[in-house]
Structure 1
């Protein structure tokens, strides 16, 4: 076989069918608490994708091939995972990632060990928020490179193993921004307000549905400037930074959830650090 043909065959076999687009390069961080992007080909219609028995976000990348964008839970074990595409199983791999610990001292000991009345309230609030995270609207997100919701430096990163007064609790499920009380908080992408509340741990809180299971949650607010059902444009103010709920000082805690998995918001603003 002529050498030129061997060379061309090698190129075909060793290079993907589609060059990686901008969204894939931005979001594909397949680690626990990260995001996996799966190439779905260039069919005429969007494939139906489910991951861990939940519908997944599917878009056309660069107006060409379809991709699925999967949120990976922090609890996922590194190794091979399965995603369902039009009823067929496809494998992808989750890489290892270690998260460091953070120790926090709280004066209000009820926020570490709530009393029975607190626990009843917490369970009711958790059910409300879980329902919000599981919403899946058909509209496509307006943008996947998000704007930072506040002007301020990043403080506590996503995924920290958290110890309150020496007792381990749930890992840090979002990204914190250091900002003064009253700093405006802006929608990082367009979306609909699906839940607001004043919760035991989260304080004053707003949930925004960006589309196809992509949900933002903002908490510890001093003021909420929106109502459930409001359609927000990208950059529209939804509230102001505060220190309500379980907080040691004013800051914004921002969660991003994808197919009901809390993932690292830093991925969506181009600030992910392996």
Structure 2
């Protein structure tokens, strides 16, 4: 299941040390860049410290609505990165029952608690560098939803869709897109049964709407290992995998990270 994506390797030349920072990927809204070459360097992106491994691995992430420029400080010296804008699809849906647009008080409280629980595991900054090996498809099927799109329900903007949806029959095997550690295995209102894997340096993958979970919290999994089965749990219109990638609490676009 797992193949390393073939991505460009831009370089940011530094005044010191002489070695360049290099990363796979393109700096766009929604992008995760996987870099190396900064062993011993101090990095910060837009003022936030960036972990650098002893081997020089690091990651940079740009959210869906990131501005046109980012500042990467290297050993205290600021360097500008141009962040290319993207166009996001918008869908207007009207005539829905109010309960489908605004949940009741008890459901809203459940959603709040679940969001806090998810934020905790997505905030983990482990020293692992599993992300450096790249990502593979967690499942194959029809792409039924893309990152960045947004629905307007009865005139009310909803949160943008911050994942990639892969549709298929209930029971379709789901595999770990990258080696990592299971930090969350639970059932949420919107996501249904879900898993979160930590791949190091704040990089996480999320697998939602599962019909079955085959692993437990704290378990170490290998890239390509079966971890769950596709389902239709939570708020869905049909069986599919909701596959998310995040850098700490910023959801990013999974699709550019996956093999063609």
TM-score, with structure 1 as normaliser: 0.79
CA contact under 8 A between 2:46 and 2:70: conserved in structure 1?
no
Corresponding position: 1:196 with 2:185: yes
Using the TM superposition, give the Cα deviation of residue 223 of structure 1 relative to its aligned residue in structure 2, in angstroms: 0.9
Match of 2:172 in 1: 183
Corresponding position: 1:72 with 2:72: no
Using the TM superposition, give the Cα deviation of residue 154 of structure 1 relative to its aligned residue in structure 2, in angstroms: 2.1
Using the TM superposition, give the Cα deviation of residue 71 of structure 1 relative to its aligned residue in structure 2, in angstroms: 0.8
Matches within 5 A, 1:1-274: 24=23, 27-36=24-33, 45-56=39-50, 58=52, 66=56, 68-78=58-68, 80-103=69-92, 110-141=99-130, 143-164=132-153, 166-271=155-260
CA contact under 8 A between 1:71 and 1:259: conserved in structure 2?
no
CA contact under 8 A between 2:34 and 2:132: conserved in structure 1?
no
Distance 1:218 1:106 in 2: 30
CA contact under 8 A between 2:210 and 2:232: conserved in structure 1?
yes
Distance 2:28 2:126 in 1: 26
CA contact under 8 A between 1:111 and 1:246: conserved in structure 2?
no
For the pair shown, the structure with the greater C-alpha radius of gyration is 1
Using the TM superposition, give the Cα deviation of residue 57 of structure 1 relative to its aligned residue in structure 2, in angstroms: 5.4
Using the TM superposition, give the Cα deviation of residue 90 of structure 1 relative to its aligned residue in structure 2, in angstroms: 2.4
- Normalized per residue, the structure richer in helix is 1
Distance 2:197 2:172 in 1: 19
- Over the residues paired in the alignment, what is the CA RMSD in angstroms? 2.8
Match of 1:7 in 2: none
TM-score, with structure 2 as normaliser: 0.83
Structure 2 counterpart SS, 1:155: strand
| CA shift in 2, pair 1:140/1:38, >3 Å | closer
| CA shift in 2, pair 1:140/1:37, >3 Å | closer
Distance 2:133 2:189 in 1: 31
CA contact under 8 A between 1:101 and 1:162: conserved in structure 2?
yes
CA contact under 8 A between 2:21 and 2:37: conserved in structure 1?
no
| CA shift in 2, pair 1:57/1:262, >3 Å | farther
Ranges in structure 2 where 5+ consecutive residues have no aligned partner: 1-11
CA contact under 8 A between 1:147 and 1:269: conserved in structure 2?
yes
| CA shift in 2, pair 1:198/1:110, >3 Å | farther
| CA shift in 2, pair 1:217/1:20, >3 Å | same
Structure 2 counterpart SS, 1:69: strand
